[in-house]
Structure 1
Amino acid sequence: MKGSRKGSLEERLQRLDAELAKKRAEDTVGDAAEEKAAESRKGYAVAMKLSSEFIAAVIVGAFLGYLLDRFVGTAPWGMIVLLMLGFCAGVLNVMRSAGMVASPHPVDRVAGRDAGSETKKDGA
């Protein structure tokens, strides 16, 4: 009786180990799928941020151009010029957010100079 009991216990342990191994394999597949979905959501979030920055700049430029034309009477030139400026500002904002263009250093912005245009002070 003791032998059959010990044998059945070992058999149950082996069956349990097999089931646990199968569950762990399924969990790793699920974890990989969740990581891929998280990366996809992150990409969508970045795309929405960049597109909203661009669209907002264009809309603000168009609105300011409309207001300028309305109050000063320069139709359609205010709208055209400020719409183009809004487009350029939108492109610049997207490039800065994407990391393609570095933002100016705050010290250089306050001093009104570009960091790359400084000359050496030793006369060379």
Structure 2
Amino acid sequence: MADPRHPHGSDALDELAKRVATLHQERENAGPRVGTDRSGMSLGLRLASEFASAILVGGLLGYGVDVVLTTQPWGLLVGLALGFVTGTVNLIRASRQMTEANPVDPQASGLKDNLDEEA
């Protein structure tokens, strides 16, 4: 007796299961996709949030040192400076990783500027 939930029978289900298994196998063989499909906006927001959080953490740690050691404004200033340096290093590291993941093609033609059009 045929299953009323599957009017086309088990042959159609078997065929669908094979197609799904094939697609899963192809996806696994394709390898991991590491950050190649991110949009520019999401990358910009990630970098900005990492930079701002480094400065914020540095400032909070510096303020904590000021409270404990009663050295007002020096701990805060040093903490903010260290947070800025840390944020800058993180930006450089992230941009290097993105460049290594998506290298620039040396054979690609560059954008023309206004001087190229006049000549």
After TM superposition, the score normalised by the length of structure 1 is 0.47
Higher helix share: 1
TM-score by length of 2: 0.49
Q: Which has the larger radius of gyration?
A: 1
